[in-house]
């Protein structure tokens, strides 16, 4: 249940409590039941019951589906039955009050009370009917607005500061969540933060996204490849990718959805270097490590005293300078090469 639903539920509960309190102290039938206050509470509960039966069942299933004849018939029947139940609840008290009053038409008095009760219940009934229709109209308008935006490739989001922004879905790689903040990562490496939950994002985007674990939602436009455990997505200007792992419980559903939307990417080799796995670049451990080492050794052999920067310029330009330095450290530790000279001006030599 999201915050909006919690707020709505809390508002309805508060209304019911205030209504019962007000009804038990201000009802027009109170003089007849002054020694039986529980009857006032029961009367209030009867009014709430008929009101919410209309709010939850009759309005959604009859009125909104243009079945007006059945709606009006059932509504009048429902209000009449519950108004009669209210009257019967205090009828004995009314008869006791006027038992010794001469020339008093008790039946007409009971009819008047029933009529007033019927009108009062219609008032509550109509109020909640209008409220339900307003909520539904507002929800339909919002859904229509979202669909128009989505069909044009945009979604509207509210950042932590400033006015609402329109974001192109095609540029969004994934959403991540931490505490009460959701981060929007696009395929250029930019990150925008908003106050939202991933449940709200998932409900808002619908079929445009996929929840793969508790902390991440991905879109289908920036997937590079996927297998039975993880998905690689575009992340950053330098053509880097990021690996996100599937939730164990939802793996079957995630794979089914991916195969339905991007079947051609299953098992495809990622062409992006510098792949990030939980923040650690380890693409070279995954592919081509031996080739990089061999090329580095060959370059040092041909150019003794070469440094890391020059090595990066001469070969493996798609591999980051940090990766080159890690390879150099491993080669040094293994005794294949050594560094001579000052830190800034020195270079590497074959042992």
* Residue 277, helix vs strand vs coil: strand
Alpha-carbon gap, residue 341 to 306, rounded angstroms: 11
Could you tell me the pLDDT band of residue 258, with boundaries at 50, 70 and 90? very high
Q: Which of 230, 236, 250, 252 is nearest to 320 (CA)?
A: 236
* Secondary element (H or E) of residue 116: helix 106-151
Residue 193 bridge partners (DSSP): 183
Q: Among 39-48, 101-110, 236-245, 311-320, name the most confident range.
A: 39-48
Bridging pattern class, strands 241-245 and 276-277: parallel
Q: Domain 288-350 is in which class?
A: mainly alpha
Main-chain dihedrals φ then ψ at residue 280, nearest 5 degrees: -110, 130
What are 190-241's pLDDT values in tens digits? 888 887 788 878 877 777 789 999 899 998 888 988 988 889 888 775 556 7
Alpha-carbon gap, residue 282 to 226, rounded angstroms: 17
Tokens of 228: 């039975």
Tokens of 181: 């903040």
What are 275-327's pLDDT values in tens digits? 444 433 344 333 334 456 677 887 888 888 888 888 887 775 556 777 888 88
What are 143-188's pLDDT values in tens digits? 666 665 556 566 666 655 556 667 777 788 899 988 778 888 888 7
Global confidence as pTM: 0.41
DSSP annotation of 161 reads S
Tokens of 53: 């039966």
Alpha-carbon gap, residue 177 to 201, rounded angstroms: 10
Q: What number of other Cβ atoms are within 10 A of residue 268's Cβ?
A: 14
165-282: what fold? Answer: OB fold (Dihydrolipoamide Acetyltransferase, E2P) (2.40.50)
For the chain, the structural domain boundaries read 3-149, 165-282, 288-350
What is the model's pLDDT at position 278?
41
Encode 107-116: b = buried (16+ Cβ within 10 Å), e = exposed.
Answer: eeebeebbee
In contact, 90 and 39? CB cutoff 8 Å: yes
Main-chain dihedrals φ then ψ at residue 185, nearest 5 degrees: -105, 125
What is the model's pLDDT at position 217?
92
Bridging pattern class, strands 165-168 and 154-157: antiparallel
186, exposed or middle or buried, with CB in 10 Å at 0-12, 13-18, 19+? buried
């Amino acid at each position: 249940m999201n915050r909006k639903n919690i707020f709505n539920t809390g508002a309805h509960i508060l209304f019911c409590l205030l209504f019962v309190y007000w009804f038990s102290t201000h009802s027009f039938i109170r003089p007849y039941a002054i020694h039986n206050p529980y009857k006032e509470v029961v009367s209030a509960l009867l009014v709430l019951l008929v009101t919410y039966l209309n709010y939850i069942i009759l309005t959604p299933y009859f009125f909104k589906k243009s079945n007006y004849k059945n709606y009006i018939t059932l509504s009048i029947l429902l209000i009449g039955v519950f108004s009669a139940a209210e009257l019967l609840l205090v009828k004995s008290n009314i008869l006791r009050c006027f038992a010794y009053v001469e020339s008093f038409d008790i039946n007409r008095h009971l009819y008047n009370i029933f009529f007033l009760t019927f009108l009062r219940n219609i008032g509550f009934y109509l109020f909640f009917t209008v409220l339900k229709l307003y909520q539904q109209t507002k929800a339909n308008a919002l859904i229509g607005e979202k669909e128009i935006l989505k069909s044009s490739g945009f979604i509207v989001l509210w950042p932590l500061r400033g006015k609402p922004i329109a974001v192109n879905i095609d540029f969004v790689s994934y959403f991540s969540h931490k505490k009460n903040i959701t981060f929007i990562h696009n395929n250029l490496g930019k990150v925008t933060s908003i106050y939202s939950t991933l449940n709200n994002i998932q409900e808002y985007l619908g079929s445009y996204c996929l929840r793969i674990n508790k902390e991440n939602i991905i879109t289908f436009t920036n997937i590079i490849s996927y297998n039975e455990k993880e998905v690689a997505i575009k992340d950053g200007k330098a053509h880097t990718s990021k690996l996100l792992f599937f939730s164990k419980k939802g793996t079957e559903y995630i794979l089914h959805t991916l195969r339905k939307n991007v079947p051609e990417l299953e098992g495809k080799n990622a062409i992006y270097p510098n792949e990030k796995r939980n923040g650690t670049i380890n693409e070279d451990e995954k592919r081509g490590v031996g080739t990089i080492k061999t090329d580095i050794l060959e370059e040092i052999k041909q150019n003794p005293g070469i440094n890391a920067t020059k090595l990066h310029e001469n070969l493996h330009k798609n591999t980051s300078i940090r990766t080159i330095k890690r390879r150099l450290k491993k080669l040094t530790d293994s005794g294949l090469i050594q560094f001579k000279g000052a830190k800034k001006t020195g270079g590497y030599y074959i042992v």
